[in-house]
Amino acid sequence: MRKVLVVFTVIQLALVVLQFYLATYGAFETPEPADPESAAIGWHVLNGFMVIPAVSLVTTILAAVARAPGKLIGLCAAPIVLVAIQMFVLFPLAELAGATMEKTTPASLYVLGFHAIVGVLLLGAAISAVRGAQAHARSGAGHQATETV
């Protein structure tokens, strides 16, 4: 189970790295499409609001089943929390500061700048989860080897 956890933390990390790629891919799309639904940034939104939280939930459950330490379980769950912060704190605050799909204000840009900072925190959590899962798997391998001797 510990090896499966390592695989899922690596998948989670790959999805976070993909998220950065998709953000840049969508940001440089020109000309900007009139329909946000067909925009390249839509893949960024889909991955960030649906795929990353779903994989994070599965990874968190696997961490609990693999009897990982609480800190590692928390790191596996961190992407869900950070996406929730994006959805329920940052974007509503940006709207309150005047951001719409058509325009932004200086105040809303200050708020939206934290979107990237939360993304960096997400990347850090994903990297730490991979390292923690690898250490947890190694500690289990040594424990199993001692039991069989």
Q: What is the pLDDT of residues 86-106, one digit of tens each?
A: 999 999 999 999 999 889 999
How many C-beta atoms lie closer than 10 Å to residue 45's C-beta? 15
Return d(Cα 3, Cα 141) in angstroms, integer.
Answer: 10
Model-level pTM?
0.88
Of 39, 45, 56, the C-alpha closest to 19 is 45
Q: Which tens digits make up the pLDDT trace of 14-61?
A: 999 999 999 998 888 877 766 766 787 889 999 999 999 999 999 999
Instruction: Tell the burial category of 70 from Cβ atoms under 10 Å away from its Cβ (0-12, 13-18, 19+).
Output: exposed
